[in-house]
Amino acid sequence: MVSLAHTLSKSWFTHKIVWFSYGLVFRNYPYFYRGFFITNFYYICAIIENSMDYKPLRNELLVVVDKEDKYSHTIEGTDITLFIERDYGWNEREKNTVNATVLHIGNSKLKEGTRIVCWHNCFADHNLVDTITTIEESVYGGYKKLYVYRVNEKHIFFYFNDNGTPTPMPGYIIAERIYHKKESESIILTELSEEKEQNRVVVKSLSSTEEDYPVKEGDVIIIETMADYEVVYADKGREHRLVRIKEEDIIAIDNGFEITDKHKIGV
């Protein structure tokens, strides 16, 4: 791919083909279209060549980001898609993009093409490497852009395995909250109808594969205060939420906590 792009953009023969096509096809078109053809041909070649030549350093990766993936949500079981305006929100976790696809790896064990979910401040301007304009229509009009960023592996919380299941990176645990259901005489249910269990969550997925690892999936664990970082991410056109826990923030396993029908598990 790299050598092909380099050949297309640099070779004398290609220049002749481009200008021949320009004269043959675009001779009766306005100058705008002629310039568009010439400019974009070399621009596309440069994008392919440059993006394939980027090499991440040490524990960093290069990833491709679609910043519009959190702007829509399809209601489960329907064809109804809602547009979610996030640009003017104050909560960075809610509005910032966290999904990405691995383009190049440094020392990481992740595979190229793996879908990942990162820290909500990863995709800042100082980490931007390149911008690619696609032919897909943007929700704001015009053409959608994809962005190439560098990401430190320690800021990747989990990835999607071959089955599409979120799998935490080493040092992290994925969990869900525990809520107490409140009895209400009103037919209108709100968030006030449920009370969150403080400092306790249910383990959903582990990064450790050790057989003697004390924490198991389904365990209720006690965690440090404010350790329940909530990740808001997109998957298959829908918004999802999970709780990311650092292994070092686990205080204990609560074997005495029994989950009953008076509890709700989720985020």
The mean predicted confidence, pLDDT, of the chain is 77
Asked whether residue 17 carries a pLDDT value surpassing 70, the answer given is no
| Gyration radius (Cα) of the chain, Å | 24
Q: Under DSSP, is residue 68 helix (H, G, I), strand (E, B) or coil?
A: coil
Q: Which residue did the predictor score with more confidence, 28 or 166?
A: 166
Q: Tens digit of pLDDT for each residue in 88-115?
A: 778 889 889 999 999 888 778 899 899 9
70 vs 54, 86, 112, CA distance in Å? 27, 8, 22
Nearest to 70 by CA among 233, 236, 243: 233
pLDDT of residue 247: 93
> Which of the following CATH numbers is that of domain 170-266: 1.20.140, 1.10.287, 1.10.1740, 2.30.33?
2.30.33
pLDDT of residue 239: 86
pTM: 0.72
Interior CA angle at 217 toward 224 and 208, to 5°?
80
Q: Which residue did the predictor score with more confidence, 205 or 49?
A: 205
